[in-house]
Amino acid sequence: MGFDLNKGEVIDAGSSFDLNKGSAGTQLKIAGVGLGWNANDDENGPVFDLDVSAFCLGEDGQIPAMTDLVYFNSKLTTKFQPEDEEERPYSTDGAVFGAIDELEGSDDEDEAGDAEDMRIILDEVADNIKEIVIVVTITKFPHDEEKDRRTLDLDFSQVEGCYCRVWDFDTDEPLCTFELDTDFGKEDAVVFGKFSKDSSNNWNFTAIGEGHVGGLPKLISIYASKF
């Protein structure tokens, strides 16, 4: 999917975007979430596999059930639209559709488009879900496809051009873009941002850009500690 990063509002870490601002001030129904990056992997090195996931959190900041972690290994999968070619993982309430797992992502600088993307049907998010946290993690041995121990040395210091963008899925209108400009070290997981709703069920997207060491298991220990 080609796009122009100059379109939509560019926001910084810590800033929020009111999702009522799109489509002439009307409430956004379906949010498209696209993420991209350029992995500086060695031609003779291990496969650089980055994955996008979503944690659907309750008021306590935890996922209510493991099916509220939407990721490449989710048990719940289906097509977002009947005409789609591939199935996507989805959340317990059927509102959050995760990314189609791309083994190597999109690291071709000449290729315009997102490495992975998601869809969130905002008015179908369950009442007990207050935030949807979007994360990107590096898949490492022994969970990588090639079972290559060299993936243990991969981290976000080897990744450039990371961004997260939100658009109106129904109209293709770009809404906001967050470009990650942090210089990471050994972090292998990044919380890019979160969708949150207020007491009136109005939604906002907040850019975060917070790095962690420990990959997806580390984030599970934060957002799914009771499991």
pLDDT given at position 44:
85
pLDDT, one tens digit per residue, over 143-166 is 898 999 999 999 999 999 999 999
Rounded mean pLDDT of 121-137? 97
Q: Which residues contact 21 (CB under 8 A, 6 or more apart)?
A: 9, 175
- Measured distance between the N- and C-terminal CA atoms of the chain, rounded to whole angstroms: 37
**CATH hierarchy code of domain 9-223:** 2.60.60.30
Taking 60 as the threshold, does the pLDDT of residue 1 lie above it?
no
Rounded mean pLDDT of 116-136? 97
In this prediction the pTM is 0.92
The amino acid present at 175, given as its one-letter code, is: L
pLDDT, one tens digit per residue, over 49-59 is 999 999 999 99
Taking 50 as the threshold, does the pLDDT of residue 106 lie above it?
no
> Chain-wide mean pLDDT for the chain?
89
pLDDT given at position 225:
94
Query: Which band of pLDDT confidence, cut at 50, 70 and 90, is reported for residue 199?
Result: confident
Q: How far apart are CA 14 and CA 34, in angstroms?
A: 19
Taking 80 as the threshold, does the pLDDT of residue 60 lie above it?
yes
